[in-house]
Structure 1
């Protein structure tokens, strides 16, 4: 009997390997099967990759909501990070983190999604906890080594500007913290408690 497959919509993504890596990563998130997932390339100026609900008629019901992962084609971003040129492990770790955000969104009603967006935009503590939850969810889905590879690549990448690295240190788990999560998971068979927001 064939396994159910995720519904993926690619928008402006011409790279075959990015499409393949995204589908492979998404396959590890069975809770997202009921939701169409979009991978979209567009000129976002301030982030390399982000995950959001799609604002359409389905947005108002959790059960039918669509989600998307955007990655940037903006020159100021791609000058430093060209997603299509990154090693597979780094890209998969990044996709796993963004899909972690989407898993975090699943239980939120539409009012909760709007409150989440406001909290993320306005309070740095809220943003930090959201990013750490996404990392933790990615590790819980088996992507610990890939998320570590992503962190290490971004922090050690010579051309990234200092303000970008400072932002990574402030809001995201470090590679060492991810390693500690992986170790705890392997030792106890479950993730340590993660912060509720």
Structure 2
């Protein structure tokens, strides 16, 4: 008897379907890659988290699947807010950043990806490198406006926990660095047109 396994499909909760669709439109390379978006009660130190599925770790890159966990709520000055209630562009930017992680994972071999996970948990400097890479993937795909809106929402919101703000400042690209990347991209694109 021959059994055919169905390839897992992407799943997206209805209440964020449009935001995910918008973010995914900037990553045509991920078309056909199964990504499950799933709400979770809370995620330590984060609002969203992208990771390969356990079964995906042992498969070739083209057959991997991923999950993007989204915290249902986050705290601003001790008060909880639903993640889906943040401004639409901010949510798209957060999702775009996580898709940047998926792009990074897709470029890694299986052993490299497993080593990535270990280094991410063990080494703070590696966390910084990984988070900046995810931002860079999103910015290079044309999502700079969304990524900037997300950063500004976090950094300029007076009531967001200072510990979270400090984590963003320490590990992620700053708004100034993003603007510098955009200038370099524009400069390169203009040279290509000449």
Q: Which residue of 1 aligns with 2:23?
A: 25
SS in 2 for 1:9: coil
| TM-score using structure 2 length | 0.85
User: Which string of whole-angstrom CA distances, capped at 9 and with x for unpartnered residues, describes residues 90-123 of structure 1?
Assistant: 1111111110010000121221111000111111
User: How far apart, CA to CA, are the structure 2 residues paired with 1:80 and 1:128?
Assistant: 27
User: Which string of whole-angstrom CA distances, capped at 9 and with x for unpartnered residues, describes residues 104-159 of structure 1?
Assistant: 00121221111000111111111101111111110111101110110000001122
User: How far apart, CA to CA, are the structure 2 residues paired with 1:107 and 1:75?
Assistant: 31
User: How far apart, CA to CA, are the structure 1 residues paired with 2:73 and 2:120?
Assistant: 22
Cα displacement (A) at 1:179: 1.0
The answer on whether the counterparts of 1:48 and 1:81 sit within 8 Å (CA) in structure 2 is no
Q: Which residue of 1 aligns with 2:11?
A: 9
* 1:138–1:124 Cα change, 3 Å: same
SS in 2 for 1:158: coil
Q: Which residue of 2 aligns with 1:4?
A: none
Q: Any unmatched runs of 5+ in structure 2?
A: 1-8
Deviating beyond 3 angstroms after TM superposition, the runs of 4 or more aligned structure 1 residues are 74-81
* 1:161–1:27 Cα change, 3 Å: same
The answer on whether the counterparts of 1:131 and 1:172 sit within 8 Å (CA) in structure 2 is yes
Q: Which residue of 1 aligns with 2:71?
A: 72
Cα displacement (A) at 1:189: 2.3
User: How far apart, CA to CA, are the structure 2 residues paired with 1:152 and 1:56?
Assistant: 36
Size of the alignment, in residue pairs? 180
| TM-score using structure 1 length | 0.84
* 1:138–1:81 Cα change, 3 Å: farther
Q: Any unmatched runs of 5+ in structure 1?
A: 1-6, 191-197
Q: Which residue of 1 aligns with 2:5?
A: none
Q: Which residue of 1 aligns with 2:6?
A: none
User: How far apart, CA to CA, are the structure 2 residues paired with 1:37 and 1:151?
Assistant: 24
User: How far apart, CA to CA, are the structure 2 residues paired with 1:98 and 1:88?
Assistant: 16
Cα displacement (A) at 1:76: 5.4
1:60 equivalenced with 2:62 (yes/no): no
SS in 2 for 1:8: coil
SS in 1 for 2:113: helix
Q: Which residue of 1 aligns with 2:50?
A: 51
User: How far apart, CA to CA, are the structure 2 residues paired with 1:85 and 1:115?
Assistant: 36
Q: Which residue of 1 aligns with 2:120?
A: 120
Greater CA radius of gyration, 1 or 2?
A: 2
SS in 2 for 1:184: helix
Deviates more, 1:34-43 or 1:55-64: 55-64
User: How far apart, CA to CA, are the structure 2 residues paired with 1:143 and 1:187?
Assistant: 17
The answer on whether the counterparts of 1:37 and 1:67 sit within 8 Å (CA) in structure 2 is yes
